[in-house]
Amino acid sequence: MTKTEQLACHECDLLVALPELSEGQKAVCPRCGYLLTRRVKNAQSRLAALSSGALLFLGLSVFFPFLSFTVQGNEREVTLLQSIYSIGDEIFLSVAIFLFLTTILIPAVFLTGMLYVLLSVKNKQLFPYTSKVLYGLFMLLPWDMSEIFLVGILVSFVKIATLADISFGLSFISYTLFILCLAATLMTLDKFQIWQWVKYRDERNGNIL
């Protein structure tokens, strides 16, 4: 599958003849240092396991208490969704929508799309729209802000730690696990390699899109 291929560095357009890489190796652009591609061991099954794990944990984190806050005997418990939409009064609706998109919907769509592409590549024939889905995945990537949300939670804890007792719910643990799985997915994912899979699956079946 790894035949020698030319590619232009995405960042500086330098033409690079990609050497044949074996598992565990990576190639960087000699001019600008951009990571061109890397070969991770068992990349397909790893990606499938990690992204389904991430999706599962994200799904679970919606159902249980997320955080709770106790001050002078008054307790307030919020779910993940509440912690996002409580801000959304009047003019802040757009902020709430933005938070919902960047912390839940975009990661969920990304992970689902990833699984779709992986299944499609495993399948005898590519599923419809595989290339389009893969294209969309890389467009979505910068807009996933789940890890920033997690840091935001930790900062708020420090801010109010002196005022009240705060505790983490089951959903919080689940959300943290989701972020860890997502980070591992992104570390395994390689744009060039995943496109090679789609490309060669296509050629084998003789249907160039």
Partner 1 sequence: MGIFCSEKVIEMNQYENHHITASAKQLYSCHVCLTLNSFDEDHCINCGAKLHSRNKNSMQNTIALLVTSIILYVPANTLPIMYTQYLGEKTASTILGGVITLWSQGSYPIALIIFIASVLVPIAKILALSWLCYSVVTNKGYSFKKNHRLYRLTEFIGRWSMVDVFVVAILVALIQMGTFMSVHPGEAALAFGALVITTMIAAITFDSRLIWEPVNKKPDFEGEMVDG
Q: In the complex, which residues of this chain contact Zn ion (CB under 5 A)? A: 9, 11-12, 14, 29, 31-32, 34
**Angle at alpha carbon of residue 97, lines to 96 and 99, rounded to 5°:** 65
Query: For residue 61, what are its two tokens?
Result: 């984190």
The option from Zn ion, partner 1, none interacting with 46 (CB < 5 to 8 A, set by class) reads none
The option from Zn ion, partner 1, none interacting with 48 (CB < 5 to 8 A, set by class) reads none
Instruction: Please list every residue from 30 through 69 that binds partner 1, using CB under 8 A.
Output: 30-34, 67, 69
> Which residues, in sequence order, are CB contacts of 194 under 8 Å at separation 6+?
117, 134
Could you say whether residue 187 binds partner 1 (CB under 8 A)?
no
Among residues 64, 98, 116, 129, which is the contact residue for partner 1, using CB under 8 A? 98
Of 44-52, 81-89, 119-127, 170-178, the window that binds partner 1 (rule: CB under 8 A) is 81-89
Number of alpha carbons in the 13 Å side-chain half-sphere of residue 117: 27
Output phi, psi for 96, to 5 deg: -60, -40
The option from partner 1, Zn ion, none interacting with 44 (CB < 5 to 8 A, set by class) reads none
Write the CA distances from 167 to 67, 75, 172, 202, integer angstroms: 6, 11, 10, 51
Could you say whether residue 84 binds partner 1 (CB under 8 A)?
yes
